[in-house]
Structure formats: C-alpha cells, structure tokens
Amino acid sequence: MSADKQTSWSYTEGLPAEDDVLLRARERSYELGVAAVGPGVGAALTVLAAGTKAQTVVEIGSGAGVSGVCLLRGLPQAAVLTTIDADVDHLRAARQAFVDAGIPGNRTRTISGRAADVLPRLTDNAYDLVFVDADKPSYPLYVEQAVRLLKRGGMLIVNDALDHDRVSDPAIREDSTTTLRKVGKAIRENDQLVSTILPTGDGLLLAVKR
C-alpha cells in the first residue's frame, strides 16, 4: 500500500466520532477481551443498516454490544435485532449497551448458545440482514446458514474478511486465512449472491441475495 493510500485509510478509520454510549460499550469489550468492531466498521454498519431498511436482523457474535448498537442506530424504529453469543458475559455487556443507547427491550433479542446450534432453529428466508463476527473456523457454516436465513434482497455482512491483510497473500496458509479465502470464494461462486469486499477495518465482505 502506498503511503498516500495508508494515510487515506487511517483518515477514514479515524473519522467517525463515537459518543459516550459506544465508548462505554467499547471499554466493556476491552475488559472482557472482546475484539469489537472499530469505529470505521461501526459507522459502515450503521449506514448499511440504514440503506437496507432491514426489519429483521441476526448478529452472530455480540461484540459486547458495540456492533449491535451501531446496527440498531441505522435500522428503522420497529426493526428487531437478534444477537447470538455463547458467552453470557458478552451478552450481558451487549444488553447493557442497548439500555445505555435507549433501545426499547422489544427491539432486541439476545440468545445464549453456540451459533452452530442456534442458527438451524431460525426460520428460512425470514431475515433482511445477517452480520457475521464470531469464531473464524465456523465462518463457512455461519455463511451457509445466513444464505438460508436471508430473504431475497437481504444482505450478508462478514467482518474481518481480509484477515489482517493476509487473505491477499497466497503464500500465507494459516488456518484462519485459508478459511476466509474459502468463504470469499464460496460467496463469489454462489449464484444466489452478488458480492464485494470493502477495505474498511479488516475487510467487510458484503453480499446480497438475489
């Protein structure tokens, strides 16, 4: 990356200004050891949620509430966010973030459990947006389930799609990198989807179900 391109990336990542609600949620994420989305990704999630006008959203991995608040701030007033996380402390932090943000209780649903167990119980073609930000080894399963869950015209967002800039280097064969390469290839080759990758944060893979 050229120096100018790196400067532009740093500028755009640092541009979003977070309020006290997000700063407190981010502090809780640090205390819990959660790798929450950065300000650039958070701002992108808000804009994408607003653009889709989604009413039903699934978030795989709570991010201690940081990403959930960002999504909810872009969603219409009646939209409902379902957050899935196996760690009850992470979900507790997310619920606190939602309260701090003034989100009514009927707009959020937090489910404690392994996403691999929870997702198959959710309804086919019932969701407008699915955000994946959890354990990398399970990304292929999560993406497969997300495609099933999405309505026609629904959007899939996969976080950390570039795996710390390693996906583009074929010489790197670490497990997480290989998994994300396979996920990207599977999405690109899926005739049900149209997709692209944004360099925001560590890469946001976006796909819309035809």
Distance (Å, rounded) from C-alpha 116 to C-alpha 76? 28
Mean pLDDT of 27-33: 97
Confidence check: pLDDT of 108 > 80: yes
Predicted confidence band at 5 (pLDDT cuts at 50, 70, 90)? Answer: confident
Look at the block and give the residue holding tokens 């755009």: 12
Question: What is the per-residue pLDDT across 126-137, written as a single tens digit (0 to 9) for each?
Answer: 999 999 999 999
Confidence check: pLDDT of 2 > 80: no
Predicted confidence band at 9 (pLDDT cuts at 50, 70, 90)? Answer: confident
Question: What is the per-residue pLDDT across 78-99, written as a single tens digit (0 to 9) for each?
Answer: 999 999 999 999 999 999 999 9
Question: What is the per-residue pLDDT across 146-191, written as a single tens digit (0 to 9) for each?
Answer: 999 999 999 999 999 999 999 999 999 999 999 999 999 999 999 9
- pLDDT at position 1, please? 55
Average per-residue pLDDT for the chain: 96
Mean pLDDT of 12-35: 95
- How is 90-145 classified by DSSP, letter by letter? HHHHHHHHHHHTT--GGGEEEEES-HHHHGGGSPTT-EEEEEE-S-GGGHHHHHHH
Q: Is the pTM of this model over 0.85?
A: yes
- pLDDT at position 120, please? 97
CA angle 86, 90, 92 (to 5 degrees): 110
Mean pLDDT of 16-22: 96
